[in-house]
Structure 1
Amino acid sequence: AGYPVDYLQQIDGPIDGDFKFYRGVGCESCRHTGYRGRTAIYEICIVTEGLRRLIIQKASGSELKQQAIQDGMVTLRQDGWRRVAQGITTIEEVVRVTQTDEVMAETTQESAPATAAGELSNTAGEIAVR
């Protein structure tokens, strides 16, 4: 299925590269959902020296996330896009189970205490698979 570039940009979707997107048509065994089973998507943040400094400075959540991504963290949504590119799931399923930064900002407090220096933060989400 073809998706407009502006829609893919809006959902932080994969717009670089030659992707072929699939959508399940469904059958009796999947109850016409187009999915079979579940798989996990992961977000793992290793506390680097840069993150440790920001935590000590009581930086905002958005600053911490920006540094974590700069240091190599892959977000839930980015991991979901990998699954889309592999043909394991669909764009709609990734959008359904992940949140954009705007939604996260509305639902979390920017001043919430940061993870203690040296700890490992691990978040996982489940998505339906094709």
Structure 2
Amino acid sequence: PTTADPTEIRMLGLDDKFLSQAKLMKGRGCDVCGGTGYKGRVGIYEIFMLTDEMQDLIYKKVAAATIREAARKSGMRTLREDALRKAASGITTLSEVIAATVGDVD
């Protein structure tokens, strides 16, 4: 287990609730992993469900921000949200979340 670095907290906009519930981990590294502390890869996913509402918005050629907002309301998780869930579960690290994702645009 590890604690979040203040810079990572600021960059990711993490709140006290997230930090108190998260099981943050950081690998020690070994000869097998080349000192990285990582073993294998874990995917992060942003799945967009094409509902009738989404299809209608696309056909109407509304702004991408409007489609994204509707998708979020329908339950879509962003790449960053999925990565943060995995970091909170100890599957990856906050530094990898920063490296692999960009901030969410609201």
Q: What TM-score comes out, normalization by structure 2 length?
A: 0.78
**Which residue of structure 2 aligns with residue 118 of structure 1?**
none
- 1:53 CA drift (Å): 2.7
Distance 1:12 1:41 in 2: 19
Indicate yes or no: 2:35 matched with 1:63.
no
Q: Contact between 1:44 and 1:74, CA under 8 Å: does it hold in 2?
A: yes
Q: Match for 1:37: what amino acid?
A: G
Note the alpha carbon deviations across 1:7-53, whole angstroms, 9 max, x for none.
53642546534213122221111101110111111111112233223
Aligned residues between the structures: 101
**Which residue of structure 1 aligns with residue 52 of structure 2?**
49
What aligned pairs does 1:75-94 form with structure 2 within 5 A after superposition?
A: 75-94=78-97
Distance 2:13 2:64 in 1: 19
Task: Find the residue that maps to 1:41 and give its secondary structure.
Answer: coil
Give aligned-pair identity as a percent: 36
- In structure 2, runs of 5+ residues without a counterpart are none
Task: Decide which structure has greater helix share.
Answer: 2
- In structure 1, runs of 5+ residues without a counterpart are 103-130
Task: Find the residue that maps to 2:76 and give its secondary structure.
Answer: coil
Task: Decide which structure has greater strand share.
Answer: 1
Equivalent of residue 4 in structure 2, options 2, 5, 10: 2
Q: Match for 2:4: what amino acid?
A: G
Q: Contact between 1:13 and 1:81, CA under 8 Å: does it hold in 2?
A: no
Distance 1:101 1:84, change over 3 A: closer
Task: Find the residue that maps to 2:45 and give its secondary structure.
Answer: strand
Name whichever of 65-74 and 11-20 sits farther off.
11-20
Q: Contact between 1:45 and 1:68, CA under 8 Å: does it hold in 2?
A: yes
Distance 1:15 1:50, change over 3 A: farther
Note the alpha carbon deviations across 1:80-130, whole angstroms, 9 max, x for none.
11211211110111111112246xxxxxxxxxxxxxxxxxxxxxxxxxxxx
Q: Match for 2:24: what amino acid?
A: F
Distance 1:47 1:13, change over 3 A: farther
- 1:75 CA drift (Å): 1.2
